[in-house]
Structure 1
Amino acid sequence: MAIGISLYPEHASFERNAAYVERAAAHGCTRVFSCLLSAEGDRASLAGEFSALSRVCHDHGMEVVLDVAPAVFSRVGARPDDLSFFAEAGADGIRLDEGFGGPDVAAMTADPHCLVVELNASTADGSLEAALACGADKGRLQACHNFFPQRYTGLGLDFLVRESARAKDAGVRLAAFVSSSAPSAFGPWPGADGLPTLEMHRGLPVSFQARHLYALGLVDDLLVSNCFATDDELAALAAARPGTVAMAVAPVPSVGDAERDVLAFAHRVRGDLSPYLFRSTASRVVFADRDFPAHDTRDLEPGDVVVVNERGGRYKGELQVVRRPIPNDGTRNVVATVEDSEARLLDCLDSWVPFTFVEEA
């Protein structure tokens, strides 16, 4: 699992990009995406520009992948069996945005410069299967979804799940993009509507985008597509954790200390699912000696987070997340509510899925 940033040297000074690399590395970023599709210049000038930036990235422990297409290959004199230009530019890998068949991809994975070859995971063209059928070295293959500058053109959730499963089934590392909301953030092309992979993420905080993509359980690496992300956004990206569903909640004013401890606990959905509740039963064992007096026992709505109170007998201390409206018999304390903007994350819960709560808007 890795997090990273994007750089567009044609739109910002070397000094500004270098400072951003230093900031990102301090937040744990280890990947850099950059784009040769939008860069201008001949082979020598591009190699010089990108190699200088790559050295800064490498000095901070970050790998560099350059976005390319057949037109870029023609401009810099590259071939599937000769990736020397990209090595000169300091790249650790190349992302094939479009236009390469299985034999070409297989040849790239055999190039002696040992670059990673990253396929476009959003094209739905069977390129991964074709490359593997042609003998591509899977150890040098990975995949990365697109980002989308124009509003309403980003991926739908069902499509992302379907196409991501191809990479997951093949055992190939997969990346996707989250988008900074910084007012001055930019990408390789004109536009101010952000650069998300998922259309539903456009305009939403980096924290939610990252937590949602991780909750889906399909994406390994997350990259901020536009720059420059703020320190708060980089910190939020670093705080997101794969392998769990982390939901932002608003605790009720009367939440008790014991209930706060239950909220802070690392939960897991009980396997035998109810259509009304997601249940986490370990908390009733861990907090068996705590007191949970009754309060806020109103009827329940989807997204309510409840802790069973002392009237619940052996169920005291159990945490439940409400899925459907249900009456409250007085045994369930409402301790928090999943934020409306976080409701999508409830769809990611299922039998034995781990989940946690974070307090943020």
Structure 2
Amino acid sequence: MLGISVYAGLEISLEENIQYLEKASKLGIKNVFLSLHIPEVNNNFINEISTLILKINKLNFNLTADISKKYYDKLDLKKFNFEALRLDFGFNNQEIAKISQNSDYKINLNASTIKESDLKEIIAAGAKLENFEASHNYYPRKETGLSEELLIKKNNLLKRYGLKISGFVPAKYKKRPPIKAGLPSLEKHRFLEPLIAAQDLLSLGIDKVYIGDSRASKTELADFALVNKKYWIIPIEIKSKISFEEKRLLSLTHQNRQDPGEYLIRSETARKHLKKKIKPKNNNSKRFKYAVTIDNYNYQRYEGDLNILKKEYSADKRVNIAADAGNSALIIEKIKEGDRFKFKI
């Protein structure tokens, strides 16, 4: 479900790439995306690629390689283990169909540009449909990433044919040259943390998410590795001193109520697990949008009620502001009734 990308022949050294692969493997990340046709690579590209693929195979990653016709004919692909090849520049639909009939790996189609007429033509040419999957492009240039509407439209088409779909999110630590503006599939993700963007992609029907950029930081990678389909992970920032009991409630895995309120994510978990009194704060202020609040003992039987606000509310001496979840706005707006969520403090 989660993966990283590595690039040979660019600014990141072979040694750094190998270290990155080892860190990802230790965090339980199972997938790697490798590009075999970047125009700006240096003269060591072929040698680095061979070494990297052998290391990827040794660490038992599932490897998807993006390849052009030029490198498909040039590299001895039988030396390596691929889960999938993403056939890019130079392949026509008949060639794609023929390769799918004989390959030991899946054929990965371009999810961002594929048309239904292409799919029908590939199938009519004798393709083995069970050997296909798809992945969206990433977009190095600012302002050129996909809209959510188009991504959903393409996903719906591919799902009708039974294909699994991948997508990309950016990292902030080391962006891929030469543009260094992030490598997201969706434009709205370009400046977001991988943790947030990845969860958003999964909610849109993506099956596998890769960090597209050259390298995520240690924290970015560790946070990204937490992403799962069981519950949302919501990063929060504690703005003022809170009690031990409030912090304990924040650490629980919560479930949004089936009737959460029009402008609330409302935990049905917190009040059930309240153990100690929650005192009111002296400076209970205006409740801002995406504040995480916990009701204190002045709210009587609602003490311990935990909410994430989706609009501003006036100050209430019965309600303590515990944290700010504003950086998680994109995914907060997608939490539905009954969804589970967990805070990352």
Q: TM-score range by the shorter chain?
A: 0.7 to 0.9
1:210-225 alignment runs, 5 A limit: 210-214=198-202, 216=203, 218-225=205-212
Q: Give identity over the alignment, percent.
A: 24
Closer/same/farther in 2, CA of residues 127 and 18 from structure 1, 3 Å limit:
farther
Contact between 1:247 and 1:338, CA under 8 Å: does it hold in 2? yes
Match of 2:55 in 1: 56
- Aligned residue runs from structure 1 range 302-341, under 5 A: 302-339=289-326, 341=327
How many residue pairs are counted as aligned between the two chains?
A: 340
Give the drift of 1:303. Answer: 0.8
In 2, Cα distance between equivalents of 1:140 and 1:232: 36
- Note the alpha carbon deviations across 1:209-259, whole angstroms, 9 max, x for none: 334434x25223222223233333322221333343222222242321111
1:114 aligns with 2:104: yes
The two structures have a TM-score, normalised by structure 2, of 0.84
Q: Deviations over 1:7-32 (max 9, x none)?
A: 22466654443343333323323222
8 Å CA contact 1:275–1:324 kept in 2: the answer is: no
**Matched letter for residue 146 of structure 1:** N
The match for 2:197 among 209, 228, 231 is: 209
Q: Please list, as runs of the form range in 1=range in 2, the aligned pairs for 1:32-111 lying within 5 A after superposition.
A: 32-38=32-38, 50-70=49-69, 72-73=71-72, 75-76=73-74, 85-97=76-88, 104-111=95-102
Whether the 8 Å CA contact 2:169–2:184 is kept in 1: the answer is yes
Alpha-carbon deviation of 1:142?
2.0
The Cα of 1:169 is off from its aligned counterpart by 5.4
5 and 238 in structure 1: CA distance in 2 versus 1, 3 angstrom threshold = same
Distance 2:241 2:15 in 1: 50
Unpaired runs of at least 5, structure 2: none
Residue number in structure 1 paired with 2:240: 253
SS in 1 for 2:279: coil
> CA RMSD of the aligned region, Å?
3.2
Does the aligned pair in 2 maintain the 1:119–1:128 contact within 8 Å? no
Alignment partners' CA distance in 2, 1:218 and 1:267? 23
Contact 1:217 1:243 (C-alpha < 8 Å) held by counterparts = no
| Partner-residue secondary structure (3-state), 1:94 | strand
Contact 1:6 1:224 in 2 (8 A): no
Q: Which residue of 2 aligns with 1:356?
A: 342
Which one of the candidate residues 291, 294, 307 is aligned to 2:280?
A: 294
Q: Distance in 2 between matches of 1:131 and 1:313?
A: 66
Secondary structure at 1:234 match in 2: helix
Q: TM-score, normalised by structure 1?
A: 0.80
- Alpha-carbon separation, structure 2, partners of 1:316 and 1:117: 55
- Does structure 1 retain, via aligned residues, the 8 Å contact 2:116–2:157? no
Could you say what secondary structure the match of 2:266 adopts? strand
Secondary structure of residue in 2 paired with 1:251:
coil
Are 2:146 and 1:155 equivalent residues in the alignment? yes
In the alignment, which residue of structure 1 is the partner of 2:183?
195
